[in-house]
């Protein structure tokens, strides 16, 4: 279960698998990186193209978003579009999903957006 008692951790205290990817302690197939965000291929893809876009600033999930995060969220959405362009899926289209908490099916407690594309997606 994803608890909400401590929603943010520093870069070094981010003890999630994505924190380890951000610190380059474990490898990832990175498709985009800037000072605020990183995008990498999902290790267990559920579409022909399945990439995760995450903020470098740790926050547990979308429920932890605060008004001050507006600029970062706008940046993440622009990164999603950049990644879609880079992967060549803009024209055909794509799906973006974020899971928040237990009922959302979230397994990694670091906010992330799933970008899925490369084929016609069903089962929504």
Question: Interacting stretch for ligand AMP, rule CB under 6 A, among 6-14, 36-44, 66-74, 80-88?
Answer: 36-44
Q: How far is CA 102 from CA 41, 43, 91, 108, 113, in A?
A: 23, 21, 33, 11, 16
Q: How far is CA 33 from CA 3, 82, 103, in A?
A: 28, 11, 30
Question: Interacting stretch for ligand AMP, rule CB under 6 A, among 70-78, 82-90, 106-114, 115-123?
Answer: 106-114
Residue 103 designated active-site: no
- Burial degree of 62 (CB within 10 A; 0-12, 13-18, 19+): middle
Near ligand AMP by CB under 6 A: residue from 14, 51, 72, 99: 99
Element (H, E) at 40: strand 37-41
Distance, CA of 60 to CA of 100 (rounded, Å): 8
Near ligand AMP by CB under 6 A: residue from 9, 16, 42, 75: 42
For position 44 contacting ligand AMP by CB under 6 A, the verdict is yes
For position 14 contacting ligand AMP by CB under 6 A, the verdict is no
Q: 43 by DSSP, 3-state: which?
A: coil
For position 108 contacting ligand AMP by CB under 6 A, the verdict is yes
Catalytic, out of 103, 112, 114, 122: 112
Kindly list the residues in this chain that would bind ligand AMP in the complex (CB under 6 A): 17, 28, 40, 42-44, 52, 99, 105-108
- Active centre residues (catalytic): 112
């Amino acid at each position: 279960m994803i608890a909400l008692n401590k929603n943010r951790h520093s870069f070094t205290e981010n003890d999630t698998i994505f924190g380890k990817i951000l610190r380059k302690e474990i490898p990832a197939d990175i498709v985009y990186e800037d000072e605020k965000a990183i995008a990498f291929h999902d290790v267990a893809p559920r579409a022909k193209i399945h990439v995760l876009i995450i903020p470098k600033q740790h926050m547990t999930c979308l429920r932890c978003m605060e008004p001050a995060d507006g600029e970062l969220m706008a940046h993440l959405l622009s990164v999603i579009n950049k990644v879609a362009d880079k992967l060549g899926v803009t024209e055909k289209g794509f799906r973006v999903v974020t899971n928040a908490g237990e009922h959302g099916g979230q397994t990694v407690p670091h906010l992330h957006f799933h970008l899925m594309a490369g084929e016609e997606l069903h089962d929504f």
